[in-house]
Each structure stands twice: as structure tokens, then as C-alpha cells.
Structure 1
Amino acid sequence: MRSKSEEKRQNILNAASEVFRETGFEGASMSDICTKAGYSRATLYSYFPSKEALFLEIMLAGGQSQADAITSALDPATPNVEESLVHFGKALLTFIYSPEILALRRLAIAEATRSDFGHLFYTRSRKQGEIVLTAFLKQAMDAGKLRQADPAVAVAHLSGLLESELEEMFYRSEITPLEPLYIDRITHSAIDVFMAAYGARG
């Protein structure tokens, strides 16, 4: 059974979801959310410090299970690092280039110069994935499955390779899901290049 505090927090999230759906992020205000939820501004701010934090909580909650499934592909005990990275890459691209998540990423970039939304989005989402991927690559390097290198730099290179053919997606007016065969081709191409650079020598 949820506590009163948890119930109140969920009520705020539900009210905020309705307001965001009705008015969009730009048109929504904390006052509107207070009115919809039936709580004071002090109560609202005691749970969420800003509209950006509230919006981010709503958006990320729906994708958390999928994000967990993506990182679960990175099994440190795997004998085939390349295969694990392919599974990871395909799942990652399918998720971060879905219409909902891509729209959120574009919003984070647009808001970066006006609020802390961009930074919040990065630390709550992409940064968490980078931490898991860095640990995976380091363990693979220590086990001799990849050549020794700075794993954080390797993560940056891998991310760049996976997204290198998809930059135009950020500039399209209409966002549609990527075809599985297209994602498969892009992922294999990116991992081929990554393994050529970071594969174990000899």
C-alpha cells in the first residue's frame, strides 16, 4: 500500500501529465498543475523543484523498463563482446530514435540554454547508460576481449558511430520509427568499425 506522500506525488504526476497533454511543455505552468492537482504551490515544489524536473519525471518513467532492458544486453561474462554490443546497439537505437524519446531529446537540446532541463535529462538518462557501458567495456578490456584504452573515450566513440548516420533525424518535421532492417544495418556497420579500432590485438 502506498503512503500518503507517495499517493500525493502520483496525483501530482497524473495532473501534470494531463496539463502537458493539453497545453504542451511551453504552454504549461506550475500554477496550472497546482490547480489540476488541487494542491498548493508549496506542496508542488516540495516534490518537484521545477516544471522541467516534473516533465522529465513523467517522460522517463514510461521508458525506464525499456532502458533497463537495453543495458541488460551488456553481460560482462559474455565470451563474444561484439555480439553483445550489436544487441545493445540495436536496442539502443530503437529506443532513442523512437518518436517519443527523440522528441524529448530535441526538447532537451532546445531548452539547454534556457533552463536546467537539458542537464537534468542527460544526467537522468544518457549518463546512466554511459556509466553501465563504460563498466562493461572496462571489464572486457581487463579480460583481454578488447584492447586496453580509456573506456570512457571508447564509449564516446561507440556512441558517435552508432548515431553517425542518424543526425538528420533531429531536423525532420515529422518523426517516424526506424525500420528494423535499417537499424540492423547501421548497428552492424558501427560495431564493425568499433571492433576494428578496439578489438583485441593478435
Structure 2
Amino acid sequence: MRVRTEAKRESILETAAEVFMEMGFERASMSEIAARMGGSKATLYSYFPSKEELFFAVVHHKVGEEVEPAFQDLPSKADEEPRALLTRLGERLLVAVTAPEAIAVRRMVIAVASKSSIGQQFWQYGPQQLHDAMASYLERATEAGRLNVRDPSAAAQHILALFSSEIDWRWIFGLQNTFTRAEIKQAVARAVDVFLAAYGR
């Protein structure tokens, strides 16, 4: 009986990330990943039952581990001063999603979104969870008298879109692939200004 280990799982994720980045989601195969690991497909499948599950595990490994902690307890911070909280959150989010591997992942998803359910799964796996946590925070912050939000779901879409509004179009069209901390801080500061002009007290 094979013994699964965390070290082996980490090794699989790193190898899979290399293959996905190099070949894209469609061309990457479990056979290629297993071959580069120097192991068998049976071992690979014992950790990840499908290529889709392995892909989303890679996404979490490379992006989700940086983003999720900032959002997990967000609703509990409704009493905090919104500007400082949203600024910290926006900066952490943009640092994570503008990392080269994160941009490569999103490009892969965009490339196959019209041909498969990967786009929908990606939304449910990551962005939807961020949206839901943000909507819950905005509702509670309004109840606490910190904000003035009538539609938390729509406002959550607004702030998340504002965070990336100065960044996304640059990498989507290949105009810029790396972003400095200064660029991120400036983009987030302006996003929070616009959001609070609409929803602040």
C-alpha cells in the first residue's frame, strides 16, 4: 500500500505547475506530469483523481494560500475603520494576483473558459468566495455604521473590480506582466477613494 505524504504532494504540485505554465491547461497531461516526476500515473492519480482537480490544487498552492487568509475572517472586522482595512486587503490581493504565476493561471483559464467548465469552476473556487466574504463584510460594516451599502452583493463586485481596474487591462493585453509595489499601492488607494466616495459615511 502506497503511503501518501505531504512532501510528495508538494512535489507533484510544483511539477504540475511547471507543466501547466509551459503547455497550458489543454495540452498538459497527467502522463507528462507523471513522466517529469519520474513516477507513475497511478501514484499521481492517488493524490489527484483528475487533471481538473490537480489544476485547481495548483491554483490554490500558487495563489489561494496568499489570498484566502485575508478574506476568511473579513466579516468579523466590520467595526474597523474601512479605509485602512480595504487598503490592506486590496494591496494583499493585488500582490497575490499579479504574481507571474497567478497571471499565467488566469490566462490559462481565459483561454479555455469558452470550451469547457473550467471558467465556471475557477469562479466558484476562488473569485466567488472572495465576493461572498466581501459582501458579508459590507453588510455587517453597514450595520455597524461604518459604511452605507444598500446592495452588498453589487458593492462587493464594485470594490473587487476597482482594486484591479488599473491593473487587469495591462496584463490581459500583454502590455505589462509585472507590477511594482508602488504601482499596486497607488492603484488600491485610488480604488478605495472611489469606493468610499460612493459608499462611505
TM bin, normalised by shorter chain, reads 0.7 to 0.9
1:130 aligned residue: 131
Worse-superposed segment, 162-171 or 26-35? 26-35
- In structure 2, runs of 5+ residues without a counterpart are none
Matches within 5 A, 1:7-156: 7=5, 11=8, 14-15=11-12, 17-18=14-15, 21=18, 24-25=23-24, 26-33=26-33, 36-40=38-42, 44=45, 47-49=48-50, 51-71=51-71, 74=74, 75-156=76-157
Alignment RMSD: 2.9
Asked if the contact 1:15–1:37 (Cα under 8 Å) also holds between the matched residues in 2, the reply is no
Asked if the contact 2:91–2:184 (Cα under 8 Å) also holds between the matched residues in 1, the reply is yes
SS at match of 1:37: coil
**Could you state the TM-score of these two structures normalised by the residue count of structure 1?**
0.80
- In structure 1, runs of 5+ residues without a counterpart are none
1:169 aligned residue: 171
The runs of 4+ residues in structure 1 deviating greater than 6 Å are none
Per-residue deviation at 1:134? 1.2
Distance verdict in 2 for CA 1:6–1:157, change over 3 Å: same
Rounded to whole Å, the distance in 1 between the matches of 2:34 and 2:171 is 35
Rounded to whole Å, the distance in 1 between the matches of 2:88 and 2:16 is 37
**Could you state the TM-score of these two structures normalised by the residue count of structure 2?**
0.80
Asked if the contact 2:131–2:160 (Cα under 8 Å) also holds between the matched residues in 1, the reply is no
Rounded to whole Å, the distance in 1 between the matches of 2:173 and 2:98 is 13
Per-residue deviation at 1:147? 1.1
Per-residue deviation at 1:136? 0.8
Tell me which amino acid in the other structure corresponds to 1:133: M
Per-residue deviation at 1:190? 0.8
Distance verdict in 2 for CA 1:13–1:182, change over 3 Å: closer
Distance verdict in 2 for CA 1:188–1:15, change over 3 Å: closer
Distance verdict in 2 for CA 1:172–1:130, change over 3 Å: same
SS at match of 1:189: helix
Asked if the contact 2:78–2:138 (Cα under 8 Å) also holds between the matched residues in 1, the reply is no
